[in-house]
Amino acid sequence: MGQMTADNMSDCIEQYLKAILTKDKHIEIKRASIAEQFDVVPSQINYVIKTRFTLQRGYLVESKRGGRGYIRIEQVAPGADDAYLRAMVASLGDLTTSSQADEVLDCLMQKGLLTKHEQSLIGALLSTEALTFGNVQKANALRTRLLTQLLNRLRFESERG
């Protein structure tokens, strides 16, 4: 399958799942049955879910493997909610790239937790240019720590009302 075809198929799968989510707040799907429906390998379904149904885009994904396995996708209302911000921190992992940080900042701006100006300033501080000091892993680890501090500060502010 050519790259263009794979991308188009990913778009179709994403649109299909989002259409279902407009009716229900969450869905449970079987990876194999969706793959069969779209005539793709199951890993294509994993790819779509991993890249297009992220917490930063307003989705919580839970996956259970095995014979009765399923993937549950739930729309969440991102915002200054403590549970959402804690989940954002947990989703960072240990090493955050500049583009991942930009996605988080964009989400925070879209949800009204940062102004466009604040997003731009923080983005500059977390950029590859700002954090280049010879070791990409250390830069990504530092970016994660800085983003975690920002998210925890937003949690603290949301608790204080």
Choosing from 25, 45, 75, the residue where a domain stops is 75
- What does the pLDDT look like over 37-90, one tens digit per residue? 999 998 899 899 988 888 777 788 888 776 667 899 988 765 567 777 888 888
**Pair 10, 49 in one domain:** yes
E strands present in 65-158:
70-75
The type of residue at 135 is N
pLDDT on residue 1: 47
Nearest CA to 12 out of 50, 33, 39, 30 is that of: 39
- What does the pLDDT look like over 110-137, one tens digit per residue? 888 899 999 999 999 999 999 988 899 9
Choosing from 27, 46, 75, the residue where a domain stops is 75
Q: Across-strand partners of 138?
A: none
The type of residue at 25 is K
Q: β-strands 59-64, 70-75: how paired?
A: antiparallel
pLDDT on residue 6: 63
11 alpha carbon, distance to own chain's centre: 17
pLDDT on residue 80: 62
Choosing from 75, 98, 126, the residue where a domain stops is 75
What range does the domain containing 55 cover? 3-75
**Pair 90, 156 in one domain:** yes
CATH number of the domain encompassing residue 41: 3.30.56.130
Q: What pTM does this model have?
A: 0.62
